[in-house]
Structure 1
Amino acid sequence: MMIPEASTVVHARAPGKINVFLKVGSLQDDGYHELATAFQAVSLYEDVWAYPADDFSVEFSGSIDTSDLVTDGSNLAIKAARALARKTGFRGGVRLVISKNVPIAGGMGGGSADAAATLLACDALWGTAVSKEELLAIAATLGADVPFAFMGGTAIGTGRGDQLSPALAKGQFHWVLALADFGLSTPGVYAELDRHRDRHAQDIFPAIMQPSVDAHVLQALRAGEPAMLAETLSNDLQAPALHLAPGLARVLELGEENGALAGILSGSGPTVAFLVADTDSALELQVALSALRIHAVRATGPVHGARLIHDA
């Protein structure tokens, strides 16, 4: 994985993710929630090129509007590079060029993918030869989704989503992603979940402190059966996100009316992920949603996590 000496440029790639299952525990005293989630990495990627530099900088390109992204030290990719430099004692910097294809604030972990790919690229660029386990430990300090973007595949996440264990997933699942032209704040959606639970305290079971992933989800993934998985898709953040962005309910309806086995909000939204039976069904649904002026892209999963790309 590592190269022994510095290069002029290193290219790394990391995937976005879909939460096929997300159970959120009750609000804890520290303001956080315990999670139980099933992640699947999908074939919508962030590409990071790392160039030698004396300081740390980042710039963006790609298929989506990046004009609102921060490029200062608060950017997660810059944080990742600086964390690796601190860990290894590296005294230089890096110029990061990121091609973004995962929706921004879309619930698919695009910023986390940037951070994971940055760790891998900087380690190779600087020749710091950090082990995979150490890179994962750094990733866990950067955010709950960063370790999964590094690992990829299919995994169960507990704690705050950063305590990962690989999950067996047979075959390939086909997804059509309906991309919104706006973002949703993850903390804002969690806050709305807490309000939602308070409003409906008489009608819903109280949240438990430490949730777990439904065994039927694991069975469906192991079987590689999209129809089985469709019956188990679940996301506790979907109701509060729909309360904040009611138009997403119609998007979910349109997808299921046009052939999706099921639809689910990915993470905190607003990206809607539709599970379909096969490649042909994915293409038909993408065309149908596009005709309804919904920006839709196809993806498959699971795919590999962060890895180096050797450009020709």
Structure 2
Amino acid sequence: MTPYVASAVEREIALVRSAPHGARNAALHRAAYALGGLPLDVQEVESALVGAAIEAGLPEREARAVVRRSLRRGAEHPREIPTTAAHGPVRAPAARPAIPPPSYPPHDELLDMVRNSLPVTSDPEAVAWLASRGLDPEAVEVWHLARALAPEGPLPSWARCGSRDWRESGHRLLLPLFDARGSLRSVKARAVCAEAERKELAPTGYSTGGLIFACIMGRRLLAGDVPEWWTPQILVVEGAPDWLTWGARQSDAREDGPAVLGVGAGSWTPAIATRIPDGSTVYLRGHSDAAGARYLDAIEATLAGRCRIFRRRA
């Protein structure tokens, strides 16, 4: 990747992430149009831009539509890559450069928030929200699937929804996100009150790309710490509500329960796929829409030929 291209990609993604309310669509259109004219992998660019747009507050379906339309328009007007050589602009190399790695919240701030959080059963609204989804709050607590934001104390600058912090906006259900090594790298904040403007938030200004929800066995799987007697069975579902649903269905009478992983836009990566042992039985469950089908296709492509795969769309 030339310095010019790398700088262009980083700049456009940063502009989308930091776009203020009312200017997010325009920023996303400009970024996709600009990057569409560069020799980049279209799917990688789309995933990165959609992830940045979701962090900025745009609904995924709306963001994906804007990105695809603007990438196509940008591709109709290829951009020359500047060079300092005396002979002027030259063609970019045939190899397609990768998107820069995502940035996550400062680890010490993240750990402080999680350490200061409380059991979900301590927050009546969180309990009510979980119950409204048919979830047992005690099971969510027992299986360490979520935590409740502490009712007081300082919050990181990235724990915000516009001008309000997550407490004020009602996003008090914390869902930990893990990387391909099973390390805690970020969180999603879920709204527990009906009047919240958005259902789910990511840390402002940071990416959640390459991060997934994982139950206890899922975290051990990612960390390479599964017991020798465990028969690898992995359930991969789309979205936080479905992940909570299936994660809370674990039985404490069974030690060999499946590892339950939850994915969203930009979550699944080749690095995560390498943590799935050969010969595993993998169940894929996505939403019954085009985005859900794409998630399952992408996951299946990384596991095909070495795992037994079963697909089902909700």
Which TM-score applies when normalising by structure 2? 0.27
Name which one, 1 or 2, has greater alpha-carbon Rg: 2
More helix by share: 2
